[in-house]
Structure 1
Amino acid sequence: MAAADSSKQADRLAKRIGAFARRHGGSAEGQIAYVGQMGFRLSLVAGDGTWGDLMAPSEETARTAAERAGITLKESFDGEMAEHMRTGPYEWSRMAGIQVGGPANR
């Protein structure tokens, strides 16, 4: 990927990260994980506990986007980060459903 394309993609991701943080408490923290040919997942947990993720084609693009958005990156999705997550009935039914006959995992 050309440097200019990578920079533009990082800018677009940074805008999405910033908008997510502003909508959910004004801050967020993230963690980057390699997910194979799909690229890198940037998992986010906002100040109010809302969580989500974005995909980036490279670790460098994900790190640059996080830096431009002003969020803290963690080395791992540890217990402290997970403790801040807020889950609802949908997430619990999906997580349980995968193993105990809940909604189909589509």
Structure 2
Amino acid sequence: MTDRGTARLAKRIRAFAAEHGGSADASLSHLGDSGYRLVLVGADGTWGDVVTRHRERALAAAESAGVPVHESFDGEMAARVRTGPYEWSRMAGSQVGGPANPPAAS
């Protein structure tokens, strides 16, 4: 896929990599009917993601941005991720005084 949507997605991926150490790695996950999630890990350990309905678009955008896509979010990639207080409080949720998850939209 080399359409405008792929180009926009590639631009977002390149911007993420540039902002977080100049490079990034990615892992692709299927979200069911929602599409595909490309989890990005920057060279500085910051993580982010982009979501698209098309697997081919995610892969083409990552390739265009020069970001390698790993088969899985393995231990090596996960070990590079750096989390801050926000992520820890969200993971803890209301069990340990973190913010409650918002209610599901109807």
Gapped regions of structure 2 (runs ≥ 5): none
Q: 1:58 to 1:97 in 2, by over 3 A?
A: same
1:8 aligns with 2:8: no
Taking only the aligned residue pairs, the percentage that are identical comes to 59
**Structure 1 residue 51: deviation in Å?**
0.5
State how many pairs are aligned. 102
Distance 1:98 1:76 in 2: 30
- CA-to-aligned-CA distance 1:40-84 (integer Å, 9 cap, x gap): 000000000111000011110000000000001100011111111
CA–CA separation in structure 2 for the residues paired with 1:101 and 1:58: 38
TM-score, normalised to structure 1, is 0.90
Pair 96,32 (structure 1): closer, same or farther in 2 beyond 3 Å: same
Q: How does 1:43-58 map to 2 (within 5 A)?
A: 43-58=39-54
Helix, strand or coil: the match of 1:45? strand
Do structure 1's residue 35 and structure 2's residue 31 form an aligned pair?
yes
**Normalised by the size of structure 2, how large is the TM-score?**
0.90
RMSD of aligned C-alpha atoms?
Answer: 1.4
The residue number in structure 2 matching 1:66 is: 62
